[in-house]
Amino acid sequence: MIGLECQPLKMMAAFGMRIQLNGESLELPNGETVAALLTRLELTGRRVAVELNLDIVPRSQHADTTLNDGDTVEVVHAIGGG
């Protein structure tokens, strides 16, 4: 039982903040950038729009925009079709 109680503590050490991503709660390391989040989501190089706390984050600022605990992020990517 003790081992089970210690495991969540290790997870919290690795993931120090919680954001809302497309309406779902997600734990991330402190200091995560928008670019790192897109890499984590396997969306690097794709045509995406990122909204951070109701403001659009230009692609040129993805690498320099740091996420913070409690942020709300919406990521929308274009899908071709017809």
Cα distances (Å, whole numbers) of residue 57 to 7, 20, 71: 35, 16, 13
Query: Where are the chain's structural domains?
Result: 2-77
In CATH terms, 2-77 corresponds, of 1.20.120.10, 3.30.2320.50, 3.40.50.10320, 3.10.20.30, to 3.10.20.30
For the cut 80, the answer to whether the pLDDT of residue 4 exceeds it is: no
Is residue 54 within 8 Å of 81, Cβ to Cβ? Answer: no
pTM of the shown model: 0.78
What is the mean pLDDT of the segment spanning 19-29? 97
Q: What is the pLDDT of residues 41-71, one digit of tens each?
A: 999 989 999 999 999 999 999 999 999 999 9
What is the b/e burial string over 44-56, where b = at least 16 CB atoms within 10 angstroms of the residue's CB? eeeebebebeeee
